[in-house]
Chain A
């Protein structure tokens, strides 16, 4: 197999005395859907922030598509083909849904305005946002905002998409739609890494799973196998549950 799309080598991020991400290494081959799970505060979002450039790691390296992107500006990393969503959605509330997505489709100036408009219309259809295209982003309900968050990110035509809890707070039917949408995104050739608590969605989507606990990578591999590992059960449910298992 050729070189992986993303390589994270020995990543360490400290906040004062707390080590939020501790010596995490992994790689993601192109075309994969990779899940990152772990209890609250285990460093999942911090890991994303380090990969996407919003935080600079204290140690380690992030190599994307052959480029060392460690500590680069988020906008530059996005230009190389990494898009992310935010756990707490960040729509441009005062702009319409269409305008939000055009902003992503401009790719920081690498696409002209008319082409970006066409791309935005295409993404709107793909993500099922056509009925609300002219509405202000701030007026959307939460499911719509999460959808918009993903739509705006894929409008930048990334090679790698980082999804941070895009299914939290959705109703079961909405989760099913989101799962379908993520499959569609992967099938369009985008590699996906998702942080998610919703195990039903994770099991349905992911081909490989990383488990973080207190910043350390404690397990990785096939989702079914990983979930049965005693250290993973212990991380989630404590010592007694692990012994019972």
Chain B
């Protein structure tokens, strides 16, 4: 969304996507030198959380929907992959694609119910959170899906075709590729007509409707895109973690951890979710590694504090301050260019 007469980097969205993609590439290059399995594990999880956070920000940020119960889509994708792969031997890459469409279909159903019956704002949020717990209890009691024991995948050899590796490093590369795909999708959405619709719906849905924008359709599309991407990420997670159970992939605590990155980082931005998750998730993991079991209690307190302070001090997320800096920097540049232009005109005028 910019005037065409500005330079490429003067546009906030362009600037963000370059920074975010640069970061992803840097992580890939940096990761190639990392030999510690633990560190790689931390990095993969951070990439997964960053991808989830960025995917969420389309519905939860750009469209302004209070999509609090986001883990349903992740869990659905994780279980779809677990079931199809272990029970029916479906190729995991295909599962990632199928998970996208299944989770998107789930998102469509949820929006059909909530938007048609006018569940908005906090009621919508509560509905989505409650729904994720319904899924958890269904799966806990579903024997075919392993019940409370969950699903185990056995990794015996490196095989790219079935997305299973003994080494952690290939997972990092794939996770970063997924993150890059999510970033580029968000960027494409923001740069397209859809970006304008989402902004209009978020800012004022009545005015949007008056301008010919079908608000319900736009919200549904945002949900489907966000949900579908979470589904794919969930399917990848199952392949990476090789073990899932309902308490883990439909966990409320995990659900909120996933939203922490985008909320603190800035849910209307691209860099917010990416850097937010990349900072917060490893912090949590290192605390856990450092303090052991106690960490879970301590970091819950710490997280609570960080979240409260963060929301109070940075209601628009950290990215907002980066945006202000960006605007100032390029405003100066534009002024300088305008001054140059008038000088040129003066010179041309004088020579006539």
Binding site for B on A (CB under 8 A): 52, 54, 73-76, 78-79, 83-84, 86, 90-95, 98-99, 102-104, 106-110, 112-113, 116-117, 133-134, 152-153, 156
CA distance A90 to B209 in the complex (A): 11
B200 touches A108 (CB 8 A): no
Quick check: is B3 within 8 A (CB to CB) of the other chain? yes
Contact of A74 with B207 at beta-carbon distance under 8 Å, contacts A99-B199, A103-B196, A117-B4 already known: no
- Chain B at the A interface: mostly helix, strand, loop or mixed? helix
CB-defined contacts of B197 to chain A, threshold 8 Å = 103, 106
Choose one: A74, A95, A116; the contact of B209 (CB below 8 Å).
A74
14 inter-chain pairs at a CB distance below 8 angstroms, sorted by A residue, are A54-B209, A73-B209, A73-B214, A74-B209, A75-B214, A75-B215, A90-B206, A90-B210, A95-B199, A95-B200, A95-B203, A102-B196, A107-B211, A152-B207
B196 touches A78 (CB 8 A): no
CB-defined contacts of A90 to chain B, threshold 8 Å = 204, 206-207, 210
B210 touches A86 (CB 8 A): yes
CB-defined contacts of A92 to chain B, threshold 8 Å = 199-200, 203-204, 207-208
CA distance A78 to B200 in the complex (A): 15
CB proximity of B51 to chain A, nearest CB, Å: 26
CA distance A185 to B203 in the complex (A): 27
CB proximity of B252 to chain A, nearest CB, Å: 31
A108 touches B3 (CB 8 A): no
CB proximity of B181 to chain A, nearest CB, Å: 23
* Residue interface bits B1-45, CB-to-A below 8 A is 1, else 0: 101100000000000000000000000000000000000000000
Interface residue count for B (Cβ, 8 Å)?
22
CA distance A243 to B286 in the complex (A): 87
CB proximity of B189 to chain A, nearest CB, Å: 13
CB-defined contacts of B214 to chain A, threshold 8 Å = 73, 75-76, 108
CB proximity of A183 to chain B, nearest CB, Å: 23
Choose one: B192, B196, B202, B206; the contact of A86 (CB below 8 Å).
B206
Contact of A107 with B212 at beta-carbon distance under 8 Å, contacts A98-B3, A99-B196, A113-B193 already known: yes
In B196-244, the 8 Å CB interface with A consists of: 196-197, 199-200, 202-204, 206-215
CB proximity of A81 to chain B, nearest CB, Å: 10
CA distance A94 to B204 in the complex (A): 10
Contact of A52 with B210 at beta-carbon distance under 8 Å, contacts A75-B215, A113-B193, A117-B4 already known: yes
Instruction: Select from chain B the residue with minimum beta-carbon distance to A52.
Output: B210
B3 touches A104 (CB 8 A): no
